[in-house]
Amino acid sequence: MNALRAVIYARLSREDVGSVDNTDIQVQECEEFIAHHEDWQHVGTFVDDNISAYSGARRPDYERLLDFIQGNNVDVLVSTEMTRLNRRLWESIGLFRLAETTGLQRIATTDGPGFDLSTQEGVHNAVNAAIEAEKESLRISKRQKRKHRVLAREGKRNGGPRPFGYEKDGVTIRESEATIIREMVQRILDGESFRSIAEDLKQRGVKTVTGKEWHVSTIKQLLDSPRMCGIRVHHGAEYPAEWPAIVSRQDWEQVNILRRARAGGETRVKPRSYLLTGIVTCGGCGTPLIGANWHDTRRGTTTRRYRCPSDDGNHRQHGCGKVFRAAEPIEILVTEAVLYRLDTPDLAKVLSAEAHDEELQDLLNQYQAQKDKLKDLIGDYASGLLNREQLTFAKHVVEEALESTRSRLATIQSGRVLSRIPLGANIREVWEAADLDFKRDLIRLIVDKVIVLPGRTQRLWAPKGSDETYRFDPDLIDIDWKV
């Protein structure tokens, strides 16, 4: 008589930690169980660690187990209990049905009699056990949600990996990392770009919690979290956290307003190689021009240029598509005009006044009050004080006020760009040493938009102090100044 082929499946979810034996112990128990059956042969072990069987998350080893069974390699499936296999009824039924087309005959559990899938009674008992497992999961889920709500209201952590800036307990500040966070925040408030900060951190060898290099996305993700200003968030509601703040709530709000303001000005073309992206517009139809390389196949050359897009990338009408111009002469022209204006002492005083702390604080208070009002409206709708129509109208009014406040905050905040220019410094030298994002911020301080008018010219133009010439007419460029 051939031995029955037995496989082991063990699983542990995060919720089970501390209340259920770890997977190593589960495997050992199953191995001893198999060893007590002389006619069984252990042919495989599959383990999923820290993965829930109820959340719908992928379980890689469970998927490999199913493939192994479908390959007709298994007679007996062994686990410590049914809930280790599945906590969803439909998944359990899918497993049971494999007995109809493969060699799988039974499911054995070390804590019970198991189930003979070759009989109707055995299948019926297995289905009933699966139903109970799903009910228990629902009860556990509700308990976990209540637990998370309580933890949030008490300002406590919900577990997870160590956050940057704090020790493993998630409460004690790790000063070496907190210093980096404060530095990031201050540099952004001073007008520096996320990209230049990320590059600087890479060069200095500063790593994330997982030992990886910083990127724009990881910096934004870190600074997007209110954790750093001592706030615990749960389903949109904010609670005072048990951990101390690393930066002030005001600085955190300002950083995120700046981040959203910059993101709002971006287009599909990244501003890395085109200085005026989001600033230059078509004089024919008013559409923002995009930067794109033009490849001249006849001459084998590539030219950077701005063009009016005829569609938005989805074959929908976007712009007139008739205006395009070489990028380099426009950028030189605008740069010279901006540097000339920025070199005026009186203008610098006016722009610096944009960053008055008193007005900034008033606007931040307005911004927070408007956000609170928006939450209150949703609560009024939930309690029946407002109907859907009234809620929609009220939300529209508050959201418009929020957008207006956010826009003003971004304008004031942009004035801090000038604080990166040392007193008495030569503005041209600062410009030459600056990154592209800083240059764009400087332009936005005093330029509303640059308009490229339709028309072609055979005129040759040479920038002042340069031997380079361009087929370019500066009269076809209008600069709309803010000040």
Confidence check: pLDDT of 350 > 60: no
- Determine the Cα–Cα distance for residues 189 and 259; give it in Å rounded to an integer: 10
Higher-confidence residue: 436 or 313? 436
Global model pTM greater than 0.75:
no
Other Cβ atoms within 10 Å of 481 Cβ, number: 11
Apex CA 463: angle with CA 291 and CA 477, to 5°?
A: 50
Q: Do 81 and 44 form a contact (C-beta atoms < 8 A)?
A: no
Across the range 374-401, mean pLDDT stands at 77
User: Residue 289 phi/psi, 5° resolution?
Assistant: -80, 155
- Determine the Cα–Cα distance for residues 435 and 263; give it in Å rounded to an integer: 17
Across the range 381-397, mean pLDDT stands at 78
**Domains in the chain, CATH or no CATH each:** 4-149 (3.40.50.1390), 175-264 (3.90.1750.20), 280-481 (no CATH)
- Structure tokens, 428: 């041209």
Residue length of the chain: 483
Amino acid identity, residue 69? I
Other Cβ atoms within 10 Å of 19 Cβ, number: 6
The pLDDT of residue 342 is 78
Confidence check: pLDDT of 317 > 60: no
Q: Of all residues in the chain, what percent are helix, strand and coil, respectively (each to 5)?
A: 50, 15, 35
Q: What percent of the chain has pLDDT over 70?
A: 78
- Determine the Cα–Cα distance for residues 398 and 395; give it in Å rounded to an integer: 5
Across the range 391-417, mean pLDDT stands at 68
Tens of pLDDT, residue by residue over 196-215, are 888 889 988 999 988 999 99
Confidence check: pLDDT of 470 > 60: yes
The answer to whether the Cα torsion of 441, 442, 446, 450 is positive or negative is negative
- pLDDT bucket at 189, cuts 50 / 70 / 90: confident
The answer to whether the Cα torsion of 436, 441, 443, 449 is positive or negative is positive
Across the range 178-188, mean pLDDT stands at 88
Tens of pLDDT, residue by residue over 255-303, are 887 776 655 544 333 434 788 988 999 999 998 888 877 777 677 777 8
Candidate from 169-173, 330-334, 406-410 with smallest mean pLDDT: 406-410
Grouping H, G, I as helix, E, B as strand and the rest as coil, residue 216 is: helix
- pLDDT bucket at 366, cuts 50 / 70 / 90: confident
Q: What percent of the chain has pLDDT over 90?
A: 25
- pLDDT bucket at 411, cuts 50 / 70 / 90: low
The pLDDT of residue 98 is 92
- Structure tokens, 228: 């750093």
- pLDDT bucket at 314, cuts 50 / 70 / 90: very low
- Determine the Cα–Cα distance for residues 195 and 417; give it in Å rounded to an integer: 16
- Determine the Cα–Cα distance for residues 57 and 106; give it in Å rounded to an integer: 26
Tens of pLDDT, residue by residue over 369-384, are 777 777 777 777 777 7
Q: Do 58 and 21 form a contact (C-beta atoms < 8 A)?
A: no
- Determine the Cα–Cα distance for residues 435 and 420; give it in Å rounded to an integer: 12
